[in-house]
Amino acid sequence: MDAKSKWSGLNADRLDRITDHLERNYIAPGKIPGCQVAVMRRGQLAYARSFGLRDRERGTAWSDDTIVRIYSMTKPIVSVALMTLFEQGRFKLDDPVHRFAPEWKKHRVWVSGEGADMVTEAPARPVSFRDVLSHTGGLTYGSLLSQLSGLPIEHPVDKAYDAVGVRRGEETLDEFMAKLAEVPLRYQPGERWQYSLATDVCGALVERVSGVPLDQYLREAVFEPLGMVDTAFHVPADKAHRFAANYMRMPDKSLRLADDPQKSPYLKDPVFKSGGGGLAGTMADYLRFTEMLRRGGELDGRRILGPRTLELMTKNHLKGGADLTKMAIGSFSETDNAGIGFGLGFAMTIDQVATGGLSSADYYWGGAASTIFWADPKEELSVVFLTQLMPSATFDFRGQLKTLIYSAIED
């Protein structure tokens, strides 16, 4: 090994199998136009590579500063932002959301039926901050689930979301919160786990607790301290030339352009700032965020969170310490379920044998366009993978990269 590899404890030849794997299995056969990978260990950049094209239609290469839609990788950022307010003593985890959103006092819980015949009951307790941070509050993704998964809207609660117009579109966060107050909870708070609009609620709570707009709070509390210069809810005109195209894999395995970077809605500042999926950014930015997490909340002398806060966030908050196989409703999310717990903004490995993987202490999340990241304090690893392919369940990039990377560790 060379000096750098000795310092990182990673076998450089083994790590370079990432290059062959991605080029041979994905880039050459055209399964994805392009992608980008970065691996850090012990604060050292051990592997960084960009592959293929960021815009197939225009033949533009994927450069290291390419801007991508990170979709649900927005969630960990917004969860961290909300927890900075927790550290300021603004709320406790088990405080009810209705402390800052009084309209939520009228929530009911679905029991049976639908529409005019729906039967509901009172919640055993109010939805709490802990619930929305961990997707255990009884919220769902409503009709958005159908758009992202291609599955029909079947559950009465999801249909209720559609009926009141929960869209994450041309509405303010206050209007969004008011609409959610009108729909029943899918289950009693804390009793199950369902991937949902909960982190959009976290974004609204950032605004209500802090008293400043979500984008401003993210910029001041996270982006500027970490030097995340390209992460925002829209791509400004002077950076649009770096914006990647987004593709959808069709049933015949072909790729269809899903969002043209020259015509994208991301080119305009949106009315609705989605804390659950609205950000775009670069590899350099998200790698700094991931490394801050891995280091216990600090990077380059700038502390975002205290280490004990981050330790709390990355514990399993599911009832009874169960994994997602026992708690999850539905199969739509950005993680497998076996051996996986969920904390305050992150999924994490709680049973390595059950996952069948090489990592035992990582926490992570992904996005709808197949982006992924994870931090592993035990192995001192920070990893980010970016591409633009929907849906995210098409290929197991996370599992494949974990095997390639962890098998390269030699100490």
Please say whether the beta carbons of 39 and 383 come within 8 A. Answer: yes
φ/ψ region of 188 (left if φ > 0, alpha if ψ in -120 to 50, else beta) reads: beta
Determine if the peptide bond prior to 391 is cis (ω within 30°). yes
- pTM for this entry: 0.96
Name beta bridge partners: 365. Answer: 373
**From CA 198, how far away is CA 78, in angstroms rounded?**
11
- Which is nearest to 1 in space by CA: 14, 47, 378, 20? 14
pLDDT in tens, the chain (411 residues): 344 456 889 999 999 999 999 999 999 999 999 999 999 999 999 999 999 999 999 999 999 999 999 999 999 999 999 999 999 999 999 999 999 999 999 999 999 999 999 999 999 999 999 999 999 999 999 877 666 666 677 799 999 998 999 988 879 999 999 999 999 999 999 999 999 999 999 999 999 999 999 999 999 999 999 999 999 999 999 999 999 999 999 999 999 999 999 999 999 999 999 999 999 999 999 999 999 999 999 999 999 999 999 999 999 999 999 999 999 998 788 898 999 999 999 999 999 999 999 999 999 999 999 999 999 999 999 999 999 999 999 999 999 999 999 999 999
Name beta bridge partners: 53. Answer: 61
Domains and CATH numbers, the chain: 3-65+244-272+286-296+314-406 (3.40.710.10)
